[in-house]
Amino acid sequence: GAVVSQHPSWVICKSGTSVKIECRSLDFQATTMFWYRQFPKQSLMLMATSNEGSKATYEQGVEKDKFLINHASLTLSTLTVTSAHPEDSSFYICSARRTGGISEAFFGQGTRLTVV
Amino acid sequence: KQEVTQIPAALSVPEGENLVLNCSFTDSAIYNLQWFRQDPGKGLTSLLLIQSSQREQTSGRLNASLDKSSGRSTLYIAASQPGDSATYLCAVRRVAGNMLTFGGGTRLMVKP
């Protein structure tokens, strides 16, 4: 299967600072990547769809000024949590789908964000 | 709006048992359905992908079926092992659009 690498796997930051999470498709090109958030013992909730070379599409209720998404190339999307607060602490997971192909989704290993 | 439900939410079985995890969805207009495995604190590993035109997919001890008209999919795990302990998630992709809608997951514990 295709490999999606997410970095960092965990991060602790102070309230008010910004944190950037990277999502890379290592062996395929991904026109579209997806960012999810997962609370403990809950399922994944889609935050936004990241499209290469254009603006991300955010789901209802997700603050686009707080969760900045950049998809500058076919292999890299970044999620920046700006002015982080403790309630932003969560598990963030990215997903990438091959350009073309059978549309199977591949996921990164996730990033555990803790805001103190 | 598509809703995906997984039953049971948690399951504990002794090693060696065959088991079935259920997934149901409200809108049958799906493009495909995917089963994932998630270990604690980890990302998702794709197990099986079933296209809307397919009835089932098999990989090793895993078999997933799809009945699109009734909005159901099952994941069958044969001869369960302690290493199968994880959360299993099903997700459907809409015909229009690229997003996946996830079920709540089934937390499986296989006891030695």
Q: What's the rounded Cα separation, in Å, for the pair A93 and A9?
A: 10
Joined tokens for residue B43: 């990302």
Q: Which residue from A minimizes the CA distance to B50?
A: A104
A44-95 per-position pLDDT tens digit: 999 999 888 888 999 999 999 999 999 988 899 999 999 999 999 999 999 9
Q: Which residue from A minimizes the CA distance to B103?
A: A43
Work out the end-to-end distance of chain B between its first and last CA atoms, rounded to an integer number of angstroms.
Answer: 41
Q: A3 vs chain B: nearest CA distance in angstroms?
A: 10
A11 at interface of B, judged by CB pairs closer than 8 A = no
Residue among A111, A103, A110, A81 nearest A30 (CA): A103
CA atoms within 13 A on the CB side of B12: 2
A49 at interface of B, judged by CB pairs closer than 8 A = yes
A91 at interface of B, judged by CB pairs closer than 8 A = yes
A60 at interface of B, judged by CB pairs closer than 8 A = no
> Of how many residues is chain A composed?
116
B49-92 per-position pLDDT tens digit: 999 999 999 999 999 999 999 999 999 999 999 999 999 999 99
